[in-house]
Chains A and B, each alone.
Chain A
Amino acid sequence: MLDFQRQAWSAFAQGQSGLIHAPTGSGKTLAAWGGAVNQLVDVTPRTGLNVLWITPLRALAADTSRALNRPLAALGKPDMVAMRTGDTSAYRRKKLIEQPPPALVTTPESLSLMLSYADAPSRMKSIQAVFVDEWHELLGSKRGVLLQLALARLRSLNPVLQVWGLSATVGNLEEACAALMPVGHTGTCIQGRTDRPLEIETLLPESLQRFPLAGRMGLTQLPSVTQRIEQAESTLVFTNTRNQAENWYGAIQSVSAEPERIALHHGSIDRALRDHAEQGLADGSLKCVVATSSLDLGVDFSPVDQVIQIGSPKGIARLIQRAGRSGHRPGASARLICVPTHALEVLELAAVRARIEQRRVESREPIRLALDVLSQHLVTVAMGGGFEADTMIDEVRSCPAFHELSRHQWQWTLDFITRGGPALQAYPNFHKVVESNGRMRVSNRRIAMLHRLNIGTISADGALQVKFVKGGSLGQVEERFITRLRPGDRFIFAGRSLELVRVRDMTAYVKKSSSKKATVPSWAGGRMPLSTLLADGMLNLFNAYADNQLPAGAEIQHVLPLLEQQQRQSGLPGTGRLLIEQLTSRDGAHLFLYPFAGRLAHEGLAALIAWRLAQLAPVTFSITVNDYGMELLSARPLQPSVEQWRQVLSVEHLERDIRRSLDAANMAKYHFRDIARVAGMVQRGFPGKNKPMRHLQASSGLIFDVLKEHDPDHLLLEQAQREVLEGQLEFQRIHAALDRATGQAIVLKQTDRLTPLAFPLWADRLRSQLSSEDWQARVDRMLGSLEQRVGSE
C-alpha cells in the first residue's frame, strides 16, 4: 500500500472530506475507495444507500462499478456496488429505489434525477459519503455546478456527509477542493504519488524547409507516424478536432497493411462503434485507434504501448492526461510522441517541455452564479419533497458557486420558477412551482414529467442521430454542423464519405457517397485555444532568444532558423514587447499584431482593435486570428503611430467597446440556446422518439427575441451576455492582454513580405468582415454576395 493511500484512508476514517489528486493510473481510485470499503464491510443489509460514486461519463460507470466491487468481493461481500445512469432501464431504476444497494455509481445528472422523486429526502438521507471521480473534468462546467447543488442538498439531509473528490493535477487544487466543500470549509488535500516521469519526443521532419508554416492536418508527417505505429503493439493517436481525427484515420488506413486493425473514436460516433474501438485496443485485436478528447477519460482503460499526439496539445494538463494513457506499469514512465503540424507548433512543444520542467499546470475556473442551473435544481428539489424558500437560500449559498448570490438574484430565480417572472401579471396561468403550506412544490404531473426529461441536458449540444436511409445508425453529430449542410452535400463521418439526404425529427438521414471529394466536417468547437500558460511559455522562449539564453533541445534547434528569419525580417515579440507588423500587398494594407493570448481572446481583441481604429478614421477590415496573433486587412493604407496604438490598446472602457465592436447581441442569442435548455425553456428533441411534442417547439433564438422584446430585464438574457463575454470571448484574457500591453514596448515594424509569424495568419481561412454599416445595408450586402454566388454557379 502506498503512503498517500494510507493517508487518505485515515482521513476518511476520521470523518474528513477533501480531494485526492494524482495522475491517471496511480492508484487514486483505491486511495479513495479504501475508506469506504472499511465502512461498507460493516454495513448491515437494508440500511439503504450508503455511498455514492459520481463519474462524469456514463460510459465509465460499468467499468467503475466492476472495479469498486472487486475489493469488497475479496472480503466476502460481493455485489455491493450497483450503477445507475441514463442508460439504466426503468425497471432496474425502480428496483434500485425499492432495494437500494449499499453503494451506487452514477452521473451528476442521474443524481439530480434521483433528487427529483417525492421520497428522495427519506431515501437519500442515509448517504454517508460521496466520491466524485475525475472532478477536474466537471469543475469548470455547469455540470460541476449542478453537482455542487446536489451535494448541498445531500448535506442538508445528512450534515455529517463526507465528500471526496478525485482529480488529476490542476493549477488551482485548493480551489478545486473547496468547490466540493460547503463555503467556509477548506477540506483536506491529499497529494498522490508524484507524476510519473514524462518523456516527450517530438517527431521532427528532416528539414524546416519541408515543413509547412501553416496548415492544421500535419499529414506530411504520415510516413514517420505510420512507421511508429508499425513498430508498436498498440498505439493511441490523439487529435485536437474530429476533423483531424477523421483525416488521420483515413490516411493511416490507406497506407496500413492491416486497415481493419485501425479504428476511429470520437464523441459523435455511435456507442457500439466506440465500444468496439475500446474493446479492440484492450484485447489486442486493434493496432491503432485514432481518437479525440473522447478518450481523455477512463478509469481502467487498459494502457497502450505508445501515445501519439497530432498537433500541439494546447495545454499542459491535457498533455499529461493523454500521456498517462501509455504504459501503466508501475515505475514505467509515461511516453508521448508529439507530431507538430506546422513549424511554429514546434516552438509550442518547446514551451510545453519548459513548463513541464517547471511543474506548471493550467487551472480550471469554476463557474459562478449560473442561474439557469439554479432554476433547474430548484424545480428538481420542489419535486423531490419541496423546499422552504427561507432555508433553501442558505443551502444554495453554502455552495461556493452561489456564495455571492444576491437577494435580488435569488428572488428573481424564485419568481422565474413560480410565476414566470417578477412582474405580477406578465405570465398569466404559469404554475410551474407552486407554494402550498409554506413549501415550494410541483403539483402538475405533466410539468414534472417534462422537467425530468430536461434534467441532464447540461452540456448537451443539440445532437442529431446520423442514420442511413436504409437503416443503420452511425452516431451523433452536432446540430450546428448539420444545419449548415444542404441535402446533397457530402461530408466525412465515422470514416465514411456520406451524402446528406434529409433531416427529420432529430435525425440526419444519409447515404453512402461514391465521391471522395467531401466537405470534411470542421467542428470548430473542438479547437481549444492555446492556454495562457503555454502562450506565456512561448513568449518566454522569445525572451530567451533575445537574451541568448535559449534552452538546448531538438525542438529549439529545429525552429532556430525560423526565429532568426523572424528577427531579421522584423523582430520578435516577448513578454515586454508587443510586436506590430505593417505590410502592403496587392490585397491591401495588413496589420499584424502578436499578443499571444489565444485564438478566442484574439477574436474579441481583433474586433475591438478594428472598431477603435475605425473611430480614428472610417475603415473596414478583414480579420483573421490564430493562437499567436491577428491580421487586420484594409483596402486603404493605415499607419497608426505608437501614440495611436496606445489609445487603441487602452484598457479603458473595455467592456463597453467590446460590446459595441462585436455583434454581442447576436452572439448572446446564439449562446442563449444552452441556457434555455438548462433552464427548461426549450424542450430537448429526443433522438429515437419521433414527433417530439410538436406544440412545444420553439427555437431558443425565438424565445430570446420574445423575452428581449417583452421582458428585457430577464436575468437569463443577462447571463447569456455575461457567459458570452467570459466564456466565448475570454474577456479576462482580453483584459489581461491589454493590461500587459500598457507596460509593453510597442515595436512597430514595416516589412516588405510576410514574416514567419504572419504567414499562417495570411494563409488562414477564418475571415470576418467588421463594418459599421446599418442593418439594412448589411442585408443588402449579404443579398448581394448571395446573388453573386448564385450567378457564378
Chain B
Amino acid sequence: MMQIVLNNNLLELLPERALWWPDRRLLMIADVHLGKDQVFRRHGIAIPGSVLHSELEALSRMVGRYRPEQLLVLGDWVHAPPSADDDWPETVRRWRTVHGQLSIDLVLGNHDRRLDAWLSQWRMGRIDHALELDGLQLIHAVDAEQAEIKPGVSGHWHPCVHLRSGRESLRMPAFALRDQHLILPSFGRFTGGMDGLEQYGWQLLAVAGQRIAAINPP
C-alpha cells in the first residue's frame, strides 16, 4: 500500500491494482475487460472461460477486505458488447446479487458500448463522461502525451513497467502519476499493458507482488 495526496485528497494505492479513497469509502478500478476471453473464443482462439470467474473472485476478495460503500469503475468494464448467446453476463449478474449492498457506477470507457440493458441488470449507474468529486476529475482516459492534465484519476492506458537487468526481464503493472493526476493499472488480468509512459513525464509506481515501488524519479 502506498499513500498519495491528489488535490488535498488522501488516496491509497492498493497492490490489488485498485485505488482506495478512505474518507469516502470509495474503491476505484479501471479496465476490467470482462468477456474478453469469450471474444477470443468466438474467433477460434481457445482462452479458458474461467478467466471471467477469477476476475470476479478477485473483485469479491477486495470488496471483502476494504468494505467499500461504492465501487467506481473508470471505464472498460467489459471488452465488447455481449452477444445474445453469451452466458458470461448472467454470471456477472449472479455475482452482483452477492454484493447487493454495494453501489457500483461505471464511467463509460471506449469498450463499454451498447450496454444499457445489461447495466440495469447489473444495477450499475452509468456516467457518460466524467465524475467530479472534491476537485478530482474521475474519467476513463486522458491524453497521456499532452502537457496539460487536470487533477484526477483515470484508466485506459494499462500502464506497465518493464525492468531489465542483465539477462533478466520483468514486466509489472503500474500506476502512473503526474501533475496531480493518477492513471490506474488495468484491473483485468487478461489485458496487456503499455510501457514507456515515463517518456511523457509520468512517474511509474510498479505493483511488485504485495508492494508498490516507485521506480523512476518524479
Contacts and interface: CB of A to CB of B under 8 A. Distances in A.
A555 to B, nearest CB: 34
Contacts of B36: 698
Interface in A443-491: 444, 446-447, 450-451, 486-487
Contact of B41 (A425, A430, A663, A703): A430
Contacts of A768: 166-168
B9 interface: no
Interface in B83-108: 85-88
Contacts of B165: 769, 781-782, 785-786
Contacts of B123: none
Contacts of B79: 695
Interface in B31-69: 36-51, 54
B166 to A, nearest CB: 5
Contacts of B190: 698, 702, 706
Contacts of B141: none
Contact of A420 (B41, B172, B191): B41
A775 B43 contact: no
Contacts of B209: 775-776, 779
Given A427-B41, A486-B199, A695-B79, A710 B51 contact: yes
A792 to B, nearest CB: 12
Contacts of B45: 680-683, 696
Given A696-B43, A696-B45, A778 B168 contact: yes
A785 B199 CA distance: 20
B149 interface: no
A628 B54 CA distance: 49
Interface in B159-188: 163-168, 170-172
A787 interface: yes
A576 to B, nearest CB: 34
Contacts of B50: 426, 710
A421 B41 contact: no
B173 to A, nearest CB: 12
A790 B198 CA distance: 13
Contact of A444 (B44, B85, B166, B196): B44
A88 interface: no
Contact of A702 (B88, B163, B164, B192): B192
Contact of A779 (B48, B208, B216): B208
Nearest to B213: A783
A790 B48 contact: no
Interface residues on chain A, size class: 35 or more
A421 B48 contact: yes
Interface residues of B, number: 45
Contacts, number: 124
Contact of A427 (B49, B163, B164, B171): B49
A695 B85 contact: no
Most buried by A among B36, B165, B172, B209: B165
Interface string A63-105: 0000000000000000000000000000000000000000000
B10 interface: no
B54 A420 contact: no
B54 A709 contact: yes
A699 interface: yes
Most buried by B among A429, A444, A446, A790: A429
Contacts of B88: 428
A421 B51 CA distance: 14
Contacts of B199: 486-487
Contacts of A778: 168, 170
A431 B208 CA distance: 38
B215 interface: yes
Interface string A151-186: 000000000000000000000000000000000000
A711 B48 contact: yes
Nearest to A781: B165
A697 B192 contact: yes
A429 B38 contact: yes
B80 interface: yes
Interface string A698-732: 11011101110111000000000000000000000
B189 interface: yes
Contacts of A781: 165
Interface string B65-80: 0000000000000011
Interface in A401-444: 416, 420-421, 425-432, 444
A767 interface: yes
Contacts of A767: 166
Contacts of B208: 776, 779, 783
A136 B45 CA distance: 33
A486 B48 contact: no
Contact of B43 (A427, A446, A709): A446
Interface string A747-768: 0000000000000000000011
Contacts of B47: 420, 427, 698, 703, 706-707
Contacts of A421: 46, 48
A430 B87 contact: no
A698 B40 contact: yes
Given A426-B48, A698-B190, A775-B209, A782 B170 contact: yes
Most buried by B among A695, A707, A781: A695
B48 A450 contact: no
Nearest to B210: A776
A698 B43 CA distance: 13
Contacts of B42: 429-430
B57 to A, nearest CB: 12
A786 B43 contact: no
A416 B46 contact: yes
A447 B43 contact: yes
B218 to A, nearest CB: 12
A680 B45 CA distance: 7
Given A429-B85, A768-B167, A790-B216, A707 B40 contact: no
A209 to B, nearest CB: 34
Contacts of A446: 43
Contacts of B86: 429
Given A768-B166, A786-B163, A428 B49 contact: yes
B94 to A, nearest CB: 15
Nearest to A427: B46
A706 B163 CA distance: 21
A152 to B, nearest CB: 23
Given A430-B41, A710-B54, A790-B216, A681 B46 contact: yes
A428 B87 contact: yes
Nearest to A681: B45
Interface string A641-669: 00000000000000000000001000000
Nearest to A430: B41
A152 B170 CA distance: 43
A421 B215 CA distance: 40
A703 B36 CA distance: 12
A430 B192 contact: no
Contact of A428 (B38, B196, B206, B215): B38
7 contacts: A421-B46, A427-B49, A428-B88, A663-B168, A697-B192, A702-B190, A779-B213
Given A681-B45, A710-B48, A775-B209, 6 more contacts: A421-B46, A430-B42, A430-B46, A703-B47, A706-B190, A769-B166
